[in-house]
Chain A
């Protein structure tokens, strides 16, 4: 499954819930304000890095750039563009948007 999270981890619990309930081997795509979680020094960074052992973590590049965060992405997080977003949706059997 592809999990899509769009809310800041320091404002909502959706990332925590997603990481708690995603099965091993699933993909998690961080978009919009959720991309802050994938940046160095953020309070969610440790959670993301721990999760990356069992999940594939992606972050949307244009959303990182729009937030001044393009140069701060955590190691182990894959940055994708909109084309990559489409490919992720296409290559997974199902997807879940955490609102």
Chain B
């Protein structure tokens, strides 16, 4: 392979990707589809941050039981993310507070950010993809 080809295929470039989840888990397909895209992106060795804000924090609730509505319970998948080297999970305190939730209500370990911390995290990304 020539040097030209090496440059053209873009391998080795790592960008900062943020996946911004703002929807509750089952009322729309956004949460599940977003999770699928995150898992795909993990295969490309990018610097991935996963953010849950607004109704998105509901995706991480413990104790989800979807038998009654006959849809897939994908909440367990969030616990598998560190197996895909996706370890940067964030929620914001404002969204938790507005929903009467605390970190203890969530199925995975997350970093809880203030609004200032969240806005800086967003600002430093190369790519933000919203679900």
Contacts and interface: CB of A to CB of B under 8 A. Distances in A.
Interface in B44-79: 54-55, 58, 61-69, 71, 73, 75
B30 to A, nearest CB: 11
Contacts, number: 77
Interface stretch (B9-17, B97-105, B115-123): B97-105
Interface stretch (A16-24, A38-46, A91-99): A38-46
How many chain A residues sit at the interface, stated as a range, is 20 to 34
A39 B105 CA distance: 13
Interface in A47-99: 61-63, 65-72, 81
A54 B101 CA distance: 28
Contacts of A66: 25-26, 64-66, 68-69, 71, 73
Contacts of A8: 24, 27, 55
Given A7-B27, A11-B55, 13 more contacts: A8-B24, A8-B55, A10-B99, A11-B23, A11-B24, A32-B27, A43-B99, A65-B64, A65-B67, A65-B68, A66-B73, A67-B61, A68-B63
25 contacts: A10-B54, A10-B55, A10-B99, A11-B55, A33-B26, A36-B24, A36-B58, A39-B100, A41-B100, A42-B100, A43-B98, A45-B100, A63-B26, A65-B66, A65-B67, A65-B69, A66-B69, A66-B71, A67-B26, A67-B58, A68-B61, A68-B62, A68-B75, A68-B105, A72-B100
